[in-house]
Amino acid sequence: MTVQPKLIIHGGAGSSLKGKGGLIAVRESLHKIVQDIYNLLAQGGSAVDAVILGAKLLEDEPRFNAGTGSVLQSDGQIRMSASLMDGAAQRFSGVINVGRVKNPIEIAQALQAEDDRVLSDVGAAEMLRVLQLPIHDPLTDLRLQEWMEERKGNFSSSMAGVVAEDEMARRGTIGVVALDQAGRVAAATSTGGKGLERIGRVSDSAMPAGNYATNLAGVSCTGIGEDIIEECLAAKVVIRVTDGFSLQAAMEKSIEEATINRRDLGAIALDAQGNIVWGKTSEVLLAAYHDGTAVGDTLEWQIEPGVGSQA
């Protein structure tokens, strides 16, 4: 039986849209990407292919903190992480702290077929060579200017916490969750990190804490990586669905717990019945979706914290 495909994506979470170019610019960007991904699903494309395409399109958009446009770490280098989870196969793959590549999600994609499915820095660099992916500099002038300004007179200081033009860019990740016509669910997440972090710091984006899917549901997270890891948010929501919660109830309980624990995060989710749900403790969640009929978004959703949905 053919299922109506559904889709939700995000471009980060935080306190405002100012650092991303404003409401109109972000909406136009997210809506176009959603439509491009949905066209693939409508033509019979798989959920895995859809989330890979979506992640690449979001990585290629400089306004989002993943791929081109990633933030710089404390030493002025860009190190990116990404992961992919095929819910039907319940197979996770990821890459941690890789540089000089346009689309980190492509490495995660290739690792789906490997016995060793999560690689960090040196291993990821070797995988780049094996895959013969072209060398790419993801640095943008804006990110370089941000780093230079933020580090003035502070190059000898240890980094802690989040520093950004409006406390938002450093919370950025991108993510995609898709349901295809065969009823399969997949999720992909990618990030440039939180910016100015300690060298070697690992984000949630290449962990099941930040990106998880089964044949029942999929979740991609955004926000402060450490908060997401400590909540194990993506896996927690999906496991609750597995245990009998509706997707809405699973997200509500998880966001309630994150709020009590004073976390700063957001999440998008989709289940095998086509229910689209999102939640956040942050002020803003940059998410957009296609419900099978039309494109919508969460950009003017003011509830804080809270959970929203589109059946």
Q: Which secondary-structure segment (H or E) carries 30?
A: helix 23-42
What is the distance of C-alpha 188 from the center of its chain?
A: 7
Q: Which of 140, 126, 134, 57 is nearest to 98 (CA)?
A: 126
**Which residue do the tokens 């446009």 mark?**
69
How many other CB atoms are there within 10 angstroms of residue 19's CB atom? 22
Cα distance between residue 181 and residue 90, in whole Å: 18
Contacts of 151 (CB under 8 A, 6+ apart): 74, 76, 196
Which pair of tokens denotes residue 237? 């929501």
How many other CB atoms are there within 10 angstroms of residue 308's CB atom? 16
What is the distance of C-alpha 282 from the center of its chain?
A: 15
Sheet holding 217-223, edge to edge: 211-213, 217-223, 265-271, 276-280, 306-310
Q: Give the side-chain half-sphere CA count within 13 A for 150.
A: 26
Cα distance between residue 94 and residue 173, in whole Å: 15
| Catalytic center residues | 173
The CA-based angle 309-194-128, given to 5 degrees, is 100
Cα distance between residue 184 and residue 203, in whole Å: 27
